[in-house]
Amino acid sequence: MRTLRVQTKSRTELVDVTARLAEALEESGLRQGMLTAFVPHTTAGITINENADPSVRHDLESALDRLVPADWSYAHLEGNADAHIKATLLGSSVNIPVEDGRLQLGTWQGIYFAEFDGPRQRSLWVQVSRGLEAE
């Protein structure tokens, strides 16, 4: 398992980690199977979405704020209840197929660490699983 450090800069932020995950894959030596990127936090998540127009990321952040407003009345009093809920809506891991030692992503796909309670120093864990071919 490898650990990436992700420094976020605002309360909500989608940080592109695609290139760093590709690097971690290369270091792992996996040729064929699956890469899993796992977020070990409860106020951040991870998602795959468009890597071209940054307005998609902006819309995603805004939509999550509209769906789960920070100012609803919550029982959890640390001021980040919305962040916990957004984390659950996105999920704590993504899986990406691996062939010939490379991440297999669609043309327009990038992988985004989703900060909902930043800025913070975060971790992202990378694990690989074997496919059927012999290594």
Strand bridging mode 93-99 / 102-103: antiparallel
Coil, helix or strand for 101? coil
Closer by beta carbon to a second copy, 11 or else 64: 64
Task: Write down the least CB distance from residue 81 to a second copy, Å.
Answer: 5
How many Å apart are CA 3 and CA 1, to the nearest integer? 7
The β-bridge partners of 111 are: 48
Binding positions for a second copy, rule: CB under 8 A: 1, 28-30, 33-34, 36, 38-42, 47-50, 53, 55-56, 58-60, 62-63, 66-68, 72, 74-78, 81, 84-85, 87-99, 104-109, 123, 125, 127-132, 135
Task: Write down the least CB distance from residue 83 to a second copy, Å.
Answer: 10
Task: Write down the least CB distance from residue 69 to a second copy, Å.
Answer: 10
Is the sign of the CA dihedral 61, 67, 71, 77 positive or negative?
A: negative
